[in-house]
């Protein structure tokens, strides 16, 4: 006797089979997701020496803790690690989206701070996920302004005076391949960088040049690096990497040159 199934029953049966088979990596919360880590190192012939900035305004405050040094190249001489480098995963095919771990779907940290405590932006580089608010703070006793802007159409920016002890919330920044530059017109040596992403798989290197991205989707992607001096290996397209399932993927050293 021939039996007929409704479309609803058939869909339910397919869905049950899909769940029993485990589904795709993007829907699993367990061991199929991996961690990606590595270290960005300076590969030039000679490590650049720290550059002392020309501080010609509000010197009593700005130089109260000693000379201010440029943060364009911050390199650990013990291991050549390059600080303040943006690192992120990108789809291997343009236009596709990265699978996102269920625990990372929702943005839990709604606000990221960038302060101006002593005539320098702290931190020098900030990575944001689209939807987060960047709080431009001024915890110093003197006035600063936050002049920020990226792509003229997608992140046109603004120039806002931030009086001593106050702050300004920058909202609506969108994911883009263009970085957002931040500066202070009152103190022209001050600068910082912001990059915005539409996924959680990004990082900024630490004082040893190291980075880590947790709960990344297994598979083949592109790893892109950007330092304020320019693009890292592979340029805007980055280099191909394979993220291991349920394990750490150590990419080793990623070399930058001036």
Q: Give the pLDDT band of residue 6 (cuts 50, 70, 90).
A: very low
Q: Is the pLDDT of residue 17 over 80?
A: no
Q: Compute the average pLDDT of residues 155-163.
A: 97
Q: Compute the average pLDDT of residues 15-19.
A: 38
Task: Specify the pTM.
Answer: 0.88
Q: Dump pLDDT digits (tens) for 177-213.
A: 999 999 999 999 999 999 999 999 999 999 999 999 9
Q: Is the pLDDT of residue 26 over 60?
A: no
Q: Dump pLDDT digits (tens) for 35-84.
A: 999 999 999 889 999 999 999 999 999 999 999 999 999 999 999 999 99
Instruction: Share the mean pLDDT of the chain.
Output: 90
Q: Is the pLDDT of residue 169 over 70?
A: yes
Q: Is the pLDDT of residue 9 over 80?
A: no
Number of other CB atoms surrounding residue 90 within 10 Å:
20
Mind listing the domains of the chain with CATH numbers?
30-256 (2.60.40.420)
């Amino acid at each position: 006797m021939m039996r007929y199934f409704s479309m609803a029953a058939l869909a339910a049966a397919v869905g049950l089979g899909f769940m029993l088979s485990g589904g795709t990596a993007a829907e699993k919360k367990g061991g199929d997701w991996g961690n990606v880590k590595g270290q960005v190192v300076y590969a030039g012939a000679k490590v650049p020496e720290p550059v002392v900035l020309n501080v010609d305004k509000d010197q009593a405050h700005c130089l109260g803790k000693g000379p201010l040094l440029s943060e364009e190249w911050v390199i650990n001489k013990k291991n050549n690690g390059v600080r303040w480098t943006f690192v992120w995963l990108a789809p291997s095919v343009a236009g596709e989206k990265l699978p996102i771990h269920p625990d990372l779907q929702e943005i839990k940290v709604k606000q990221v701070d960038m302060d101006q405590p002593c005539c320098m932006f702290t931190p020098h580089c900030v990575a944001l996920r689209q939807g987060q608010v960047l709080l431009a703070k001024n915890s110093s006793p003197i006035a600063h302004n936050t002049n920020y802007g990226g792509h003229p159409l997608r992140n046109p920016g603004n120039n806002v005076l931030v009086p001593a002890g106050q702050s300004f919330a920058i909202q609506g920044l969108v994911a883009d391949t263009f970085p957002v530059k931040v500066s202070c017109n009152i103190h022209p040596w001050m600068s910082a960088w912001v990059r915005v992403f539409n996924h959680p798989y990004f990082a900024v290197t630490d004082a040893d040049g190291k980075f880590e991205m947790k709960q990344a989707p297994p598979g083949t992607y592109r790893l892109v690096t950007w330092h304020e001096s320019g693009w890292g290996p592979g340029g805007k397209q980055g280099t191909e990497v394979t993220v291991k399932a349920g394990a750490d993927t150590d990419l080793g050293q990623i070399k930058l040159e001036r």
